[in-house]
Amino acid sequence: MKHLKIDNLHVSIGDREILRGLSLDLPTGQVHAIMGPNGSGKSTLAKVIAGHPDYTVTSGDILFDGESILAMEPDARARKGIFLAFQYPSEIPGVTIANFLRAALQARLPDGEELEATEYYAKLYEKMDLLEMPRTFTSRAVNEGFSGGEKKRCEILQMAMLRPTFALLDETDSGLDIDALKIVSHGVNSLRGPETGMLVITHYQRLLNYIVPDYVHVMVNGRIVESGTKELALKLEAEGYDWATEPEAEAVGA
């Protein structure tokens, strides 16, 4: 079992603190959900784990199986096994999905080793079938002109191909219609297992009916204010976040 451990993490952008002492322990084999109001810092957490250069970690640590990854470049973290399904995936004009994923997998091979093309395509098609994506997608440029839902599906396709140890899914359900939600959840569930830990960020308890989490955390103002089992999500759905908001805390953005 491996652990992704967030230890009392403080993160700022400019002189504004966004994460304010956040701790979390995600072991492989588990799915944790994070819920919280807009602007509470959920995406920031995901991007900081992935190594986004805009954010500064002012104190605390991120440990991948006991080893700090703070000094690692984003690409090294990715190759180590961290995957982020973006809330807003970027478009990469002219680069086809097939070429992109091929380059990403090639980057994981030792020097001098070449990715085997037939195996690669077999695997790609298998995962596309799983996500009910038409074959024509392989020759389309990454996310270019994709609908919101297609983008999210493409993120999960990449995850399925790259097989991360820790996957961070940032609002993968937003923009999906109900059928797509089922297909994507099925795709995600097929990747669940003792080798994989997942952090699922969402606003809707509905997703958690499909991807059933082991734990649910509530994040407010850059901290986790409450953790519990999946029933916590139902409470949030019913009551909102008011009960969890610390009255003394300054509003983020003030």
Partner 1 sequence: MSDTQTQLDIDREKGNFRYDVDYEFDAGTGLNEKTIDYICDVKGEPDWIRKFRKDALKKFLEKPMPTHWASHDLENIIFDKIRYYLSQGGQKPKKTWDEVPEDVKRTFERLGIPEQERKFLAGVEAQFDSEAAYSNIKEAVGKQGVIFMGSTDALKEHPEIFRKWFGKVIPTGDNKFSALNSAAFSGGSFIYVPPGVKVSHPLQAYFRINAENFGQFERTLIIADEGAEVTYMEGCTAPKFDTATLHSAVVELVALKGAKIQYITVQNWSNNVFNLVTKRGLAMEDAEVKWIDCNIGSRLTMKYPGVVMKGRRARGEVISIALAGDGQHQDTGAKMVHAADETTSNIVSKSISVGTGRATYRGLVNIPRHLKGCKNNTECDALLINTSSRTDTYPAITVRGTGNACQHEASVSQVSSEQIFYMQQRGLTEAQAMSLSVNGFVNDLVRQFPMEYSVELKRLIDLEMEGSVG
Ligand X SMILES: Nc1ncnc2c1ncn2[C@@H]1O[C@H](COP(=O)(O)OP(=O)(O)OP(=O)(O)O)[C@@H](O)[C@H]1O
Residue among 55 and 64 whose Cβ is closer to ligand X: 55
To the nearest whole angstrom, how small is the minimum distance from the Cβ of residue 40 to partner 1? Answer: 21
To the nearest whole angstrom, how small is the minimum distance from the Cβ of residue 97 to partner 1? Answer: 11
Pairing of strands 215-220, 31-35: parallel
Find where tokens 């995901």 sit. 46
Judged by CB under 8 A, does residue 83 bind partner 1? yes
Angle at which helix 117-130 crosses helix 178-191, to 10 degrees, equals 130
| Contact residues: ligand X, CB under 6 A | 13, 18, 36, 38-44, 54, 87, 252-253
Residue among 90 and 118 whose Cβ is closer to partner 1: 90
Q: Of these partners, Mg ion, ligand X, partner 1, none, which one is at the site of residue 44 (CB under 5 to 8 Å by kind)?
A: ligand X
Cα distance between residue 236 and residue 204, in whole Å = 9
| Contact residues: Mg ion, CB under 5 A | 42-43, 87
Total residues in contact with partner 1, by rule CB under 8 A? 29
To the nearest whole angstrom, how small is the minimum distance from the Cβ of residue 11 to ligand X? Answer: 9
- CB 176, CB 207: distance < 8 Å: no
Judged by CB under 8 A, does residue 94 bind partner 1? yes
Residue among 45 and 157 whose Cβ is closer to ligand X: 45
- Tell which one of 13, 57, 63, 95 touches partner 1 (CB under 8 A): 95
Chain residues in the site for partner 1 (CB under 8 A): 50-53, 73-75, 78-79, 83-84, 86, 89-95, 99-101, 103-104, 107-108, 141, 158, 162
